[in-house]
Amino acid sequence: SIIKTAGKRYLKIPKLGYVKTSKTGVLQNTKVKRYTVVLEPTGKYYLSLQAEIPEPEKYSLTDKQVGIDVGVADFAILSNGLKYPSFDSSYFEKKAKVWQRKYARRRHLAKLLVLQDRNKKVLCPRSLESFTNWQKAQKSKAKCQAKAANQRRDYLHKLTTNLVKQYDVIAIEDLKTKNLQKNHHLAK
């Protein structure tokens, strides 16, 4: 194993050293094969592990079956009448839109100043990277987008896990998602 758990809250990773984490309990009785470190646009680093684990525990059988109809007004309607509402992440999506506008404007203005310096043949012309305001806006935009995406992913994971625990057989309609994506009202 290339990664070792060091104590209750740390992982020892080659080249990186000790990394603080809360997920050391999950790595018990596992063999870590390889790891990847990714820098997100939000400025956060994520460690992705590929591990060999023993056979996972299976859920107990319930002898229940259900059919799912994917809708537009409601996210999913079960054959027994249960409805799961569509996920609403409009708050962070609106914030992301606002920051996208600010980012585009700030970057455009910075580009104009860089071009001005170049045309005036200034002794020390400014570069686009020397303007930090548009970079701050880019980070804020990325944070809002990531927050909305994470909330949506969390909602879907919880919903699907709940369905798998409750039912043995799940039938889903054959939906042409490509056609839905072409319609801008239904695409999201």
Give the tens place of pLDDT for each residue, 161-187. 999 999 999 998 877 777 777 877 777
Over residues 70-91, mean pLDDT: 86
CA quadruple 157, 161, 162, 163: dihedral, nearest 10: 110
Determine the pLDDT at residue 107: 97
Residue 1 confidence (pLDDT) above 60 = no
Average pLDDT value over all residues in the chain? 88
Alpha-carbon distances, residue 100 vs 52, 97, 136, 144 (angstroms) = 41, 5, 11, 10
Determine the pLDDT at residue 93: 93
Angle at 117 between CA 111 and CA 121, to 5 degrees: 145
Secondary element (H or E) of residue 19: strand 17-20
Neighbours of 142 (CB within 10 A): 18
Q: At what angle do helices 133-166 and 90-119 cross, to 10 degrees?
A: 150
pTM value is 0.77
pLDDT tens string 28-58: 788 888 888 899 888 888 888 888 888 878 8
